[in-house]
Amino acid sequence: MKYIAERFTERVDEVNVLYLGDAHAGHPNYREDIVDKALNEISRRKNGRIVIMGDLSEIALTTSVGSTYEQTMTPEEQIDYWVDKLYPYRDMIVAGVGSNHNERAVRAVGMNPARMIFKLMDIREKFFRYSVLIKWSFNKGCLNNFIQHGSTGARTDGGILNKMKKMHQIVEADIYAMGHTHRLISSNDVIRRYPDPRNMKLIDKRYYYINTGSSLDWDEGYAEMKSYPPVLLGYPILKMTGDRSNQQIQIDKITA
């Protein structure tokens, strides 16, 4: 895991972060309009940044789960699609991580489609295969954000959040963001106390968990076949304000 920093050297009113993933472009149920709505929203916000959460592409192969015959684009076309889609936002992208659909191609042919997308946009150094810890540094303070595509078979909101809360076992952070489940949910109900030895007092720290949504429709897809309930489609935008002594976090949901 790498620890990287996104710094704002001048004072800012706010920092906004779009978490974009689980789009599954190439699948017939992919909803491009939802991705476009999220990208348009982050582009109009102050100090907009983007984190890629994995599974941008379907990558159905003859050796993998999924139907190669139903795909609307070949894996190569899926890569080209995302390069064209994201290139105008290239300077806003802070980081991206790999995912299970991406690993299909890695196992089959030794080629990493997500890394290739970043390489073709000339930001290869911003791709991390599994996870990354980002320090959002602004107004003389900072918030740490752990990013991972994730892996869980949980289907309820409670089960998904329980899985996310176990991310504390990996690394300490303020904000934990995970994809994979296609749920657009968040929680900030965990508070822990930690000691401030200099001032000999206990300080409350609140933790934020974000499951980062999807743009894959339900009808006649895998979710309907498995009798999973339809979910809210869309993506979250994290809004950070304040300074070192009074940092505030707001999570907005950009939905269909």
Q: Which H, E and C letters describe 108-172, residue by residue?
A: HHCCCHHHHHHHHCCCHHHEECCEEEEEEEECCEEEEEEEECCCCCCCCHHHHHHHHHHHHHCCC
3-state DSSP assignment of residue 100: helix
Q: Cα–Cα distance between 90 and 207 in angstroms, integer?
A: 29
Whole-number average pLDDT of the chain: 93
Going by C-alpha positions, the residue among 198, 88, 207 that lies closest to residue 146 is 207
Q: Say whether pLDDT at 180 is over 60.
A: yes
Measured in degrees and rounded to the nearest 5, phi and psi for residue 99 equal: -160, 175
Q: Give the model's pLDDT for residue 102.
A: 87
Percentage, residues of the chain above pLDDT 70 = 95
Residue-wise pLDDT tens digits, 112-133: 999 999 999 999 999 999 999 9
Whole-angstrom CA distances from 242 to 97, 118, 184, 192, 197 are 28, 32, 25, 21, 25
Going by pLDDT thresholds of 50, 70 and 90, the confidence category of residue 226 is: low
pLDDT higher than threshold 90 for residue 173: yes
Q: Which tokens belong to 217?
A: 């429709």
Q: Any idea what the CATH number is for the domain that residue 143 is in? A: 3.60.21.10
Residue-number span of the structural domain to which 74 is assigned = 2-255
Question: Mean pLDDT throughout 12-17?
Answer: 97
Q: Chain centroid to CA 134: how far?
A: 12
Q: 3-class SS at 76?
A: helix
Handedness of CA 184, 145, 106, 73 (dihedral sign): positive
Higher pLDDT, 120 or 66: 120
The domain tally of the chain equals 1
Q: Which residue has the higher pLDDT, 142 or 66?
A: 142
3-state secondary structure of 36: helix
For the segment 13-30, the average pLDDT, to the nearest whole number, is: 96
Mean pLDDT of 223-242: 88
- pLDDT band at 167, cuts 50/70/90? very high
The token duo for 214 is 């999807």
* Structure-block tokens of residue 98: 């790999």
Q: What confidence score (pLDDT) does residue 14 get?
A: 97
pLDDT at 216 over 90: yes
Residue 83: what pLDDT? 98
- Using CA atoms, how far apart are residues 187 and 251, in angstroms rounded to an integer? 9
Cα atoms in the 13 Å half-sphere on the side-chain side of 239: 11
List, edge to edge, every strand of the sheet that includes 93-97: 127-128, 93-97, 48-52, 15-20, 234-241, 248-255
Q: What is the pLDDT of residue 155?
A: 84
